[in-house]
Every structure is written in structure tokens, then in C-alpha cells.
């Protein structure tokens, strides 16, 4: 019996200790939150990236400007070290504004709202004009097989509105854009039209990349706005031989020297244990790259600003990385992981914000077993700032290449309802970002980074 009471006593002591620790953490996180909610520079940094620079496609002049601008922001935030990490990036250019229309009876033209899909070739020679065959699934294309020869395949894959997490719908519907053009080419199609990966119905075409397959010819491919995808689908019902004309002028130029932008606070106890936190600095060329992913960049910079302002001296090194070329190559993320491998860096944790700067709800993580339980034990600490759950996921494309090294990966999981209204489209502009939502995201990221810097995972 004595032993039992002693155990209970120990349990009590442990609980009291644990409760006190959580309480101290809670107070610390409240202070970090207050600093960010009162004095954040994230929103004005984002305004600069969006309004003074604009879109930042890899290899572009704007991408270079953004590198210089964020170096200055990291220095102003007080980072101990700021440096560039080189990587070669693809340099795809859109060229002249795309032209596209359906050819109606009497040779009337019905204009379509489209954009070339990233990394595609231009229409050759000059333009394409052919009958359109609609498919609503990849299986449907395979069933049609060679009957699509000489035609334009129209991948009309809708994002499933029934999922709460729109990223799931994006993942499922996205194979139309990602592999559709190559699959259409396999059967002899001359071009592809892909329904924009958008969860709403409007006039904006949404770009993104496609992956050609070296076994098949490269064909031109455009994304069409959801509104015009609906129109086209209906038009085909009434006119099975409907033709579409389109012209794109994009091309892939030789690779260009570019950089990841890095800023660090050196750890005081275990500086060799590195916590990476970041977003990607490049963006598609159509909008201003505000939610995707200027938001993630300025949130990450804000962590350094807040910690330095508060004189927080983290035990482990905090390294902000603004990755280059997430959108059409992932060269920055790959270069980062290669460098870490080569120099045997110990990256214990990587946190990315690349799901928009919307109101925070959770974190993606690949953490398993005891690491996951540890993160779960921290969840109550985020509750006052909007985060309340963990979802399975790698956290972000740029940090994915770190996974084989055993790095614990996580990503901010903001509310996803509005993201695919503007993702990769011309309406991804500064005005679509809420200062409070952006700052709350930074608060939760800063809290997570602080907890890992303080306690590690093991």
C-alpha cells in the first residue's frame, strides 16, 4: 500500500510539475502573441512584396528583386546571419497574352478565359484549332484512347465540394493538370485544355505546372476558368464537333542562377540543432503571390523579428528559409536538402507555411509515435490563437526533400475554404490577405518554433 501511495505521490508531483511547465509555456507564448499582434511587420512586408515588386516567377527580374528585398527584411528583423544559398532555376516565360475562343456556327468566336499552364511549350505552328473532346476522369481518356488523335482533350475534373479540406479536392482533381497533357499526347491529341483547379465558379484561369512525359510528344496546354469550363462542357453537349482555337507563346529558356534567402538566430545551447521555418519566395506570374506564398515568407521573417525584439535567445538555431522555385521546379527545396546532407547539418524540425495566410486552424505533420504525442501535448497551448488539430501531411513541398534525413516536418494548416478561389490566379493579390489572419498564423508558427527550440523532440 505504501508503494501505491508513493506512486500516487510521484504522479501528483509529476502532474504538478507538468502543469507548471505548461503554464510557464502558456505565459511565454502569450507574450510572443502579444508582440506579434501589436507590432508585426508581416503585413507591411507583404505589401512591399506584392505592391512594390509583384509576381515573382523563378528566373524573372522580380524574383531577383524579391531576393534583395527579403534579405533587407531579415536584416531589419535582426537576424544574426543573413545569406543566400545558390540554386539554378528553370526560366519559363509566358510570352504574349494567350488567345482562345470556341468557334460557333457561322464562324462566330466565343472568347474563353484561359492561361498557358506553367512549363508548357507554345502552340505550334503558331496556334491550334481542333475539335474538343471532354473527359471527366483519366479513365475516360484511357477508354477513348486513340480516338482523341488530332483533337484537343478537355480535362474537366471538378474539385469535389464535399471535402472540408479543399487541399484534398485539389490533390484529387489535380491529376488532370499534372499529367493530363502528357496522357492526351500519348493518344495523339494535339493540345489540352484543363479546367482550372478552383473551388468557385468565376472568370479567372488558374495556372500551375504540368509534367511532360519524354515518351510522348510535348503538346500545348491551357487552363480555362471554371466559368468557361462549365460553358464549354454545355456547348459540347449541343455540338459534338465543337472546335476551339487557341494560341500560346510561352517557352522554357535556359536555367538561371537564383537563390534561397536564409536568415538565422543562432541557438544558445544546441546551435547545431537546426529548426527550419519558411515559405517560398517565388510565385506564379499572374497575380502578386500574396497568399501563395508571400504570406508564408513574411510570417517566417516575423518570427525572427519578434524573437529579437523580445530578446528571446532560443536554445536551438532558428533558420528562416525563403525557398526559390517551389512553383515550377522545387530547385530551392532540393538544393537546401542537398546542402544539409553534404554538410551533415542536423535539421531537427522544418515548418513551412504554404497553404495561405488564412485564419489558422491546425498543423500538418508527418510526425509519428512519440514525436506526434509530444506535439499533441502542446496543442492546448495554441488554442487561444486558433490552432486546435493536427493533420497528416508533409507540411510543404519545399521541406519535403528533408524527409529522408529524418527531419520532423510540419506545416501551418490555415482554414482552406478561400484558398482555391485565387490559388495560381490573377486574384491572388495583397487585398485578399487579412492582417489579423496573417499575424495569427505567425503567432502559431512562432509558438511552435519556440516550443521545439526550447524542448526539442527527443
On whether the CB atoms of residues 195 and 157 are closer than 8 A, the answer is yes
Min dist. Cβ of residue 30 to a copy of itself (A): 9
Distance (Å, whole) CA 347 – CA 344: 9
Phi, psi of 221 (to 5 degrees): -150, 135
Min dist. Cβ of residue 368 to a copy of itself (A): 23
Classify each residue of 141-160 as buried b or exposed e, where b means 16 or more C-beta atoms within 10 Å of its C-beta.
beebeeebeebbbbbbbbbe
Min dist. Cβ of residue 201 to a copy of itself (A): 8
**DSSP state, residue 114:** E
Q: Please give the sequence-ordered ranges of beta strands (E in DSSP) within 306-393, or none if there are none.
A: 316-323, 346-352, 360-365, 389-392
Min dist. Cβ of residue 437 to a copy of itself (A): 5
Q: Active site includes 326? A: yes
What SS3 state is found at 263?
Answer: strand
Classify each residue of 330-344 as buried b or exposed e, where b means 16 or more C-beta atoms within 10 Å of its C-beta.
bbbbbbbbeebeeee
Q: Which of 264, 326, 345, 352 is catalytic?
A: 326
Q: Considering beta carbons, is residue 38 or 369 the nearer one to a copy of itself?
A: 38
- Residues at the site binding a copy of itself, with contacts judged by CB under 8 A: 33-34, 37-38, 161-162, 164, 166, 199-200, 359, 384-386, 388, 415, 417-418, 421, 434-437, 440
List of residues 6+ apart from 433 with CB closer than 8 A: 43, 46, 290, 291, 295, 357
Min dist. Cβ of residue 451 to a copy of itself (A): 19
DSSP codes, 170-197: HHHHTHHHHTHHHHHHHTT-SEEEEE--
Q: Considering beta carbons, is residue 74 or 426 the nearer one to a copy of itself?
A: 426
Min dist. Cβ of residue 177 to a copy of itself (A): 21
Q: Please give the sequence-ordered ranges of beta strands (E in DSSP) within 241-359, or none if there are none.
A: 243-247, 251-265, 270-280, 316-323, 346-352
Q: Considering beta carbons, is residue 112 or 433 the nearer one to a copy of itself?
A: 433
Residues annotated catalytic, as ranges? 326
Amino acid at each position: 500500500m505504501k508503494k501505491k501511495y508513493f506512486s500516487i505521490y510521484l504522479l501528483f508531483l509529476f502532474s504538478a510539475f507538468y502543469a507548471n511547465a505548461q503554464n510557464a509555456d502558456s505565459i511565454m507564448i502569450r507574450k510572443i502573441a502579444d508582440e506579434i499582434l501589436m507590432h508585426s511587420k508581416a503585413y507591411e512586408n507583404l505589401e512591399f512584396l506584392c505592391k512594390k515588386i509583384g509576381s515573382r516567377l523563378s528566373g524573372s527580374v522580380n524574383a531577383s528583386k524579391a531576393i534583395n528585398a527579403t534579405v533587407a527584411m531579415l536584416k531589419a528583423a535582426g537576424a544574426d546571419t543573413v545569406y543566400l544559398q545558390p540554386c539554378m532555376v528553370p526560366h519559363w516565360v509566358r510570352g504574349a497574352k494567350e488567345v482562345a475562343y470556341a468557334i460557333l456556327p457561322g464562324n462566330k468566336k466565343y472568347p474563353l478565359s484561359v492561361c498557358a499552364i506553367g512549363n508548357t511549350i507554345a502552340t505550334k505552328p503558331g496556334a491550334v484549332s481542333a475539335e474538343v473532346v471532354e473527359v471527366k476522369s483519366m479513365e475516360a481518356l484511357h477508354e477513348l484512347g486513340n480516338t482523341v488523335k488530332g483533337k484537343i482533350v478537355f480535362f474537366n475534373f471538378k474539385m469535389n465540394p464535399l471535402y472540408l479540406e479543399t487541399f484534398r479536392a485539389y490533390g484529387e482533381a489535380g491529376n488532370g493538370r499534372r499529367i493530363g497533357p502528357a496522357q492526351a499526347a500519348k493518344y495523339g491529341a494535339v493540345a489540352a485544355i484543363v479546367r482550372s483547379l478552383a473551388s468557385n465558379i468565376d472568370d479567372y484561369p488558374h495556372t500551375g505546372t504540368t509534367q511532360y512525359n519524354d515518351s510522348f510528344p510535348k503538346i500545348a496546354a491551357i487552363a480555362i476558368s471554371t466559368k468557361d469550363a462549365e460553358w464549354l462542357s454545355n456547348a459540347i453537349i449541343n455540338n459534338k464537333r465543337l472546335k476551339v482555337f487557341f494560341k500560346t507563346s510561352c517557352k522554357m529558356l535556359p536555367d538561371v542562377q537564383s537563390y534561397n534567402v536564409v536568415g538565422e538566430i543562432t541557438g544558445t545551447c544546441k546551435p547545431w540543432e537546426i529548426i527550419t521555418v519558411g515559405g517560398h519566395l517565388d510565385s506564379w506570374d499572374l497575380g502578386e503571390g500574396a497568399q501563395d506564398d508571400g504570406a508564408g515568407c513574411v510570417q517566417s521573417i516575423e518570427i525572427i523579428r519578434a524573437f529579437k525584439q523580445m530578446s528571446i535567445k532560443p536554445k536551438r538555431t532558428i533558420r528562416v528559409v525563403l525557398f526559390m522555385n517551389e512553383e515550377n521546379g522545387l530547385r530551392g527545396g532540393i538544393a537546401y536538402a542537398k546542402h544539409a546532407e553534404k554538410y551533415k547539418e542536423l535539421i531537427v524540425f522544418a515548418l513551412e507555411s504554404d497553404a495561405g495566410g488564412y485564419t489558422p486552424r491546425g498543423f500538418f505533420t508527418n510526425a509519428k509515435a512519440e514525436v506526434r504525442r509530444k506535439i499533441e501535448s502542446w496543442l492546448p497551448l495554441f488554442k487561444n490563437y486558433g490552432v486546435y488539430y493536427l493533420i497528416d501531411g508533409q507540411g510543404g513541398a519545399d521541406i519535403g526533400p528533408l524527409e529522408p534525413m529524418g527531419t520532423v516536418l510540419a506545416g501551418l494548416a490555415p482554414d482552406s475554404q478561400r484558398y482555391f478561389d485565387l490559388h495560381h490566379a490573377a486574384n491572388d493579390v495583397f487585398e485578399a490577405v487579412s492582417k489579423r489572419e496573417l499575424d495569427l498564423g505567425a503567432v502559431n508558427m512562432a509558438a511552435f518554433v519556440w516550443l521545439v527550440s526550447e524542448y526539442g523532440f527527443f
